[in-house]
Chains A and B, each alone.
Chain A
């Protein structure tokens, strides 16, 4: 149980600025981009820090946290849906992470549909995953032809997090 009522947690501007500087460096060095609208981005980061204080994990600002880390592993920022959403829409659900195309102003940032399954569907998925093993053959493995980095996901990352090679320079490995 939280000691404080949920609305009583506060985050200072100093905390936000520190978090922003650290995250920005880390994000850029791994080939991602934060939304260049600094005010918008900082307000999301403030919410992430706030959620961490409220729930004990950095729950996504645009989703309702269940106050149960095991149930919310998929929406701890960065969430499981970020990269598929970057591939399909050029932005994560909250608009915190965006593609190069949007970052460079070639495309406009727009809100996108929610990819996280509904509470009912999440229950169903949980039941399925206890009865079957994740089929490894259903997920493609990609190899960076520059540095050999391997990752198992629907598409290669926009930029290799190890050597910053572009997506086109990956090949399917399996």
Chain B
């Protein structure tokens, strides 16, 4: 799976589903990086074919509206949208 890894402090498993074209997704990445958190991200709009469908199904499991950014924390919690407070309060 073409997840991109960003190094930083490990505060649990953080997976960001994003669009490469979206302003709020960009702000989300900038904030994660300002907070120096370790995370993985994937730009769903850059995928094609089966790979894309597979990731879409994954996102829908966490966020049925299929909106971006969607952050999944430790495979159990979701933050939908650029929720500054939520992201700043990430585990740790």
Residues of A within 8 A of B (CB): 5-7, 40, 43-44, 47, 50-51, 61-65, 94-95, 111, 113-114, 116-120
- Distance in angstroms between the alpha carbons of A154 and B47 in the assembled complex: 37
Task: Evaluate contact between B48 and A94: CB separation under 8 angstroms.
Answer: no
- Distance in angstroms between the alpha carbons of A48 and B56 in the assembled complex: 21
Q: How large is the interface on B (under 10, 10 to 19, 20 to 34, 35 or more residues)?
A: 20 to 34
Task: Evaluate contact between B60 and A95: CB separation under 8 angstroms.
Answer: no
B24 surroundings in chain A (CB, below 8 A): 62, 94-95, 111
Task: Evaluate contact between A62 and B46: CB separation under 8 angstroms.
Answer: no
Task: Evaluate contact between A40 and B60: CB separation under 8 angstroms.
Answer: no
B15 near A: Cβ within 8 Å? no
A111 surroundings in chain B (CB, below 8 A): 24, 81-83
Task: Evaluate contact between A62 and B45: CB separation under 8 angstroms.
Answer: no
Q: How many cross-chain pairs have Cβ atoms below 8 Å apart between A and B?
A: 60
Contact of B21 among A51, A116, A117 (CB under 8 A): A51
The binding surface of chain A is classed by DSSP as loop
Contact sample, A vs B, 14 pairs, CB 8 Å cutoff? A6-B46, A6-B47, A6-B48, A40-B23, A43-B26, A63-B19, A63-B22, A64-B45, A64-B56, A64-B68, A94-B23, A111-B82, A114-B67, A118-B65
- Distance in angstroms between the alpha carbons of A120 and B65 in the assembled complex: 8
The binding surface of chain B is classed by DSSP as loop
CB interface residues, B 55-87, toward A, < 8 Å: 56, 60, 64-68, 81-83
Closest A residue by C-beta to B43: A7
A113 surroundings in chain B (CB, below 8 A): 81
B14 near A: Cβ within 8 Å? no
B44 near A: Cβ within 8 Å? yes
Contact of A44 among B23, B45, B64, B66 (CB under 8 A): B23
A6 surroundings in chain B (CB, below 8 A): 45-48
- Distance in angstroms between the alpha carbons of A51 and B23 in the assembled complex: 14
Q: A111-B82, A118-B66 are in contact. Are A65 and B22 (CB under 8 A)?
A: no
Q: How far is the CB of B86 from chain A (nearest CB, A)?
A: 11
Closest A residue by C-beta to B28: A111
Q: Which 10 residue pairs across A and B have the least CB separation, nearest first?
A: A47-B21, A61-B21, A62-B22, A114-B67, A118-B65, A111-B82, A7-B46, A111-B81, A118-B64, A111-B24
